[in-house]
């Protein structure tokens, strides 16, 4: 049996490791169960096996794979791949150089390469289409399977950098699978988020070891994975994420009205400066604040109807508590608003924020100009503390906000004189290979909101953080059929209106604080869209 390169189906790629078999199961049993339930490609990876044993095992599994019309790939051992007539060979960065592998295996055998960085793609592209046929992009998440990993987990954002490098290099021939720590709790999110910025390609598949090989019921585990690959619709939050035309003032008023009637619980994990002010802003908007950082209660809180998490990473909450909270809210599809305070100010903050970004799906990510530029990677300069950067062009900030929205498949908000809101949720859809037809960084919906300069906003503490509380109240208070983007736009309009009113009434920064809460209180108790003055512009 011979497979042409175009016949390879990378969607569910099983890589073996006989060191993790459950009791009573052979590798043959596990591979067979996988093949019967949707595995589309198999790689034998035996780091410690003797050659003779490896060859015997590989021959038996090759026959099994071929009986299911599935190709077999051999890890690392080019000699074994040639000797048994395998359909492909997979090598890592420290194994035999690719041009030598190709010389040995000839033009027809598929060659796979482990890739973790964009510069490795540049090398692959220089070799051209006759060398590497597919890449395993990893390590995505921490895994116990790969001993002595040389790379830190890259998360979906790292995989997107690799997909972008393939597009930049026009390496259209090269297929991709994501690998490392992939399990049913993160696969939908990975497939959803991992799209090149131009929208032209997504992963061609996922590659797993332990999820199938170590499973006591490998068939059932494979079925779950296959169903996630086939689903292609990621309902990560109860609200509707379908992109719709922007509503009018009346519609925004109705979003506010629904939110104030619901009185959503807003769990704040936030910095000390914001705690008191954020609680009062939430109360002014008729939400119910709880400033809890207790790990053992996050699941109980997340399960309360309309509960919403505002995660402000200027906090000093223990990382395990924060991770548990993200998992808890994601599991029950309640929204999380992520505010990466001082995103790149220090190495500690950068690592902390990136770890959390890799761990969950956020309904909204909001930041100031410095934070959004940092998240977009348009500029990797360190931030000065938590300050916004003045003087950046609106065009640059719009571009950065769009990148953040599209990369994290979220609603991104960049605050400043012009607030910018971009909707990267792409209707909650994901595909294999095809990317996001009709959507890319440059085409996703985006609006700006402007109401003249309100410089006094920058003279009080936690004004930006409290926009986070306001967004949480608006999103959290909605019904399941309400629209996520509209809720966020309403929150930003409301906060800007309140800021303008307060700036006109106050005598200085002290009374501005008080007037801001008063204005939010009045706007939410006496809803009248005619007093909402900010100008909304579709970009």
Least spacing, CB of residue 332 vs ligand 3NM, in Å: 25
CA dist 27 to 14, 32, 71, 217, Å? 12, 8, 17, 13
Query: Among residues 40, 145, 370, 482, which is the contact residue for ligand 3NM, using CB under 6 A?
Result: 145
Least spacing, CB of residue 207 vs ligand 3NM, in Å: 7
Least spacing, CB of residue 69 vs ligand 3NM, in Å: 24
Between 32 and 46, CB nearer to ligand 3NM: 46
Question: Cis before residue 139, ω within 30 degrees of 0?
Answer: yes
Structure tokens at 258: 């629904």
List the x/- string, 155-194, binding to ligand 3NM by CB under 6 A: ------------------------xxxx------------
Note whether 132 binds ligand 3NM by CB under 6 A. Answer: no
Note whether 355 binds ligand 3NM by CB under 6 A. Answer: no
12-15 and 41-44 strand pairing: parallel
> Count of residues binding ligand 3NM (CB under 6 A)?
16
Q: Can you say whether the dihedral through the CA atoms of 37, 228, 192, 184 is positive or negative?
A: negative
Note whether 210 binds ligand 3NM by CB under 6 A. Answer: yes
C-alpha span between 93 and 398 (Å, rounded) = 37
Count CA atoms within 13 Å of residue 536 on its CB side. Answer: 21
Query: Among residues 136, 289, 424, 534, which is the contact residue for ligand 3NM, using CB under 6 A?
Result: 136
Least spacing, CB of residue 305 vs ligand 3NM, in Å: 35
* Residue 536: closest CA among 491, 473, 469, 483: 491
Between 182 and 372, CB nearer to ligand 3NM: 182
For ligand 3NM, the nearest residue by Cβ is: 138
Query: Among residues 18, 37, 143, 176, which is the contact residue for ligand 3NM, using CB under 6 A?
Result: 143
Between 181 and 314, CB nearer to ligand 3NM: 181
List the x/- string, 107-126, binding to ligand 3NM by CB under 6 A: -------x------------
Between 183 and 327, CB nearer to ligand 3NM: 183
Least spacing, CB of residue 218 vs ligand 3NM, in Å: 13
Note whether 264 binds ligand 3NM by CB under 6 A. Answer: no
DSSP H or E run through 255: helix 249-262
Per DSSP, the residues of 7-67 read G---SEEEE--GGGPPTT--HHHHHHHHHHTT--EEEE--SS--HHHHHHHHHHHHHHHHH
C-alpha span between 93 and 102 (Å, rounded) = 15
C-alpha span between 268 and 355 (Å, rounded) = 19
With tokens 């949707």, the residue in question is 38
What are the residues facing 537 on neighbouring strands? 448
* Residue 491: closest CA among 451, 452, 449, 433: 449
Note whether 275 binds ligand 3NM by CB under 6 A. Answer: no
Note whether 221 binds ligand 3NM by CB under 6 A. Answer: no
What 3-state DSSP class applies to 478? coil
Instruction: Confirm if 329 and 309 have CB atoms less than 8 A apart.
Output: yes
Query: Among residues 171, 208, 265, 336, which is the contact residue for ligand 3NM, using CB under 6 A?
Result: 208
Catalytic machinery residues:
465
Least spacing, CB of residue 153 vs ligand 3NM, in Å: 9
Q: Residues of 37-61 as b/e, b for ≥16 C-beta within 10 angstroms? A: bbbbbbbbbbeebeeeebbebbbeb
Query: Among residues 12, 15, 44, 536, which is the contact residue for ligand 3NM, using CB under 6 A?
Result: 15
Judged by CB under 6 A, the stretch of 141-149, 190-198, 264-272, 479-487 that binds ligand 3NM is 141-149
Between 136 and 199, CB nearer to ligand 3NM: 136
Note whether 215 binds ligand 3NM by CB under 6 A. Answer: no
C-alpha span between 45 and 15 (Å, rounded) = 6
Provide the binding-site residues for ligand 3NM, judged by CB under 6 A.
Answer: 15, 114, 136, 138-139, 143, 145-146, 179-182, 208-211
């Amino acid at each position: 049996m011979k497979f042409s390169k175009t016949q390879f189906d990378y969607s569910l790629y099983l890589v073996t490791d006989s060191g993790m078999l459950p009791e009573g199961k052979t590798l043959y049993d596990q591979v067979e169960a996988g093949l019967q339930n949707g595995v589309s490609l198999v790689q034998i990876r035996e780091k410690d096996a003797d050659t003779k044993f490896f060859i015997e095992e590989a021959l038996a599994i090759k026959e099994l794979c071929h009986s299911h019309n599935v190709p077999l790939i051999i890890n690392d051992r080019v000699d074994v791949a040639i000797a048994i007539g395998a359909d492909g060979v997979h090598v890592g960065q420290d194994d035999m150089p690719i041009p030598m592998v190709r010389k040995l295996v000839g033009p027809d055998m598929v060659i796979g390469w482990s890739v973790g960085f964009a510069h490795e793609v540049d090398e692959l592209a220089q070799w051209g289409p006759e060398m590497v046929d597919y890449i395993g992009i990893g390590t995505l998440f921490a895994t116990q399977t790969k001993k002595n990993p040389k790379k830190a987990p890259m998360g979906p954002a790292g995989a997107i950098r690799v997909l972008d490098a393939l597009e930049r290099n026009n390496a259209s021939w090269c297929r991709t699978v994501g690998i490392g720590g992939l399990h049913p709790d993160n696969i939908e999110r990975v497939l959803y988020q991992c799209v090149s910025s131009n929208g032209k390609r997504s992963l061609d598949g996922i590659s797993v070891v332990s999820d199938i090989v170590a499973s006591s019921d490998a068939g059932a585990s494979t079925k779950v994975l296959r169903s996630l690959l086939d689903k292609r619709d990621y309902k990560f939050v109860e609200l509707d994420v379908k992109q719709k035309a922007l509503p009018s003032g009346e519609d925004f008023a109705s979003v506010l009205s629904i939110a104030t009637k619901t009185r959503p619980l807003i769990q704040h994990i936030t910095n000390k400066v914001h705690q008191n002010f954020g609680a009062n802003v939430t109360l002014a908007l008729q939400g119910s604040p709880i400033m809890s950082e207790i790990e053992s209660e996050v699941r109980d809180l997340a399960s309360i109807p309309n509960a919403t998490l505002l995660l402000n990473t200027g906090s000093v909450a223990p990382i395990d508590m924060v991770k548990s909270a993200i998992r808890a809210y994601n599991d029950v599809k309640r929204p999380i608003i992520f505010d990466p305070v001082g995103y790149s100010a220090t190495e500690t903050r950068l690592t902390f924020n990136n770890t959390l970004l890799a761990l969950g799906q956020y309904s909204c990510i909001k930041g100031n100009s410095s934070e959004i530029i940092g998240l977009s990677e348009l500029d990797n300069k360190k931030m000065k503390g938590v300050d916004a950067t003045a003087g950046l062009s609106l065009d640059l900030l719009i571009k950065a906000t769009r990148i953040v929205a599209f990369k994290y498949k979220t609603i991104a908000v960049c605050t400043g004189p012009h607030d910018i809101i971009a909707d990267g949720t792409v209707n909650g859809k994901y595909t294999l290979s095809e990317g996001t037809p009709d959507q890319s960084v440059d085409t996703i919906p985006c609006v700006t909101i402007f109401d003249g300069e309100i410089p006094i906003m920058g003279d009080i503490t936690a004004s930006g953080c409290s926009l986070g509380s306001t967004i949480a109240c608006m999103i959290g208070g909605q019904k399941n059929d309400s629209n996520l983007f509209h809720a966020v736009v309403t929150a930003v309009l409301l906060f800007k209106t309140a800021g303008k009113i307060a700036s006109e009434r106050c005598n200085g920064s002290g009374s501005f604080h008080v007037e801001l809460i008063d204005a939010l209180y009045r706007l939410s108790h006496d809803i009248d869209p005619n007093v909402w003055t900010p100008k909304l512009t579709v970009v």
